Amino acid sequence: MNGGACGGVKRFSIVRHRAAGLRNWRAFLTRRASVVARMYQSFYGFREMPFNITPDPRFLYLSPTHQEALQHLKYGVREKKGFIVLVGEVGCGKTTLCRRFLNELDPDHFDSALILNPRVSETQMLKAILTELGETKLARSQNDLVAQMNTVLLERIHRGRDIVLIIDEAQNLKFEVLEQIRLLSNLETDKQKLLQIVLMGQPELKDVLAQDELRQLRQRILVHYDLRPLAASDTEHYIQHRLTLAGGDGRPTFTRWALKAIHRGSGGIPRVVNNLCDKALLSAFIRESDEVSYWDVRRAIRDMTNLTV
Ligand SMILES: Nc1ncnc2c1ncn2[C@@H]1O[C@H](COP(=O)(O)OP(=O)(O)OP(=O)(O)O)[C@@H](O)[C@H]1O
Ligand SMILES: [Mg+2]
Average pLDDT per run of 10 along the chain, which is 309 residues long? 42 51 56 68 93 93 98 94 95 96 95 94 96 96 93 90 96 94 80 85 96 92 96 98 93 96 98 96 94 97 80
Nearest CA to ligand 1 atom 7: 93
The SS3 assignment for 193 reads strand
The residue whose CB lies within 8 Å of the most ligand 1 atoms, and thus the one to mutate among 85, 92, 236, is: 92
Residues near ion ligand 2 (Cβ under 5 Å): 94-95
Q: How far apart are CA 99 and CA 212, in angstroms?
A: 32
Which pLDDT score is estimated for 205? 97
Which pLDDT score is estimated for 9? 45
The SS3 assignment for 215 reads helix
Which pLDDT score is estimated for 18? 55
- Ligand closest to CA 94: 1
The residues with which 115 forms a beta bridge, in sequence order, are: 167
| Cβ neighbours of residue 153 closer than 8 Å, sequence gap 6 or more | 163, 184, 187, 194, 195
CA of 47 to the centre of ligand 1 (A): 21
Q: Is the peptide bond before 270 cis (omega within 30 degrees of 0)?
A: no
Q: How far apart are CA 280 and CA 278, in angstroms?
A: 6
Which pLDDT score is estimated for 2? 38
**88: Cβ below 6 Å to ligand 1?**
yes
**252: Cβ below 6 Å to ligand 1?**
no
Which pLDDT score is estimated for 75? 96
- pTM recorded for the entire structure: 0.86
With beta carbons less than 8 A apart as the criterion, state whether 107 and 70 touch.
Answer: no
Which pLDDT score is estimated for 295? 97
Largest CA distance in the chain: 98
CA of 98 to the centre of ligand 2 (A): 9
Atom of ligand 1 nearest to the CA of 169: 27
Which pLDDT score is estimated for 190? 65
CA of 59 to the centre of ligand 1 (A): 10
Which pLDDT score is estimated for 38? 74
Torsion region of 267: left, alpha or beta (phi above 0 gives left; psi -120 to 50 gives alpha): left
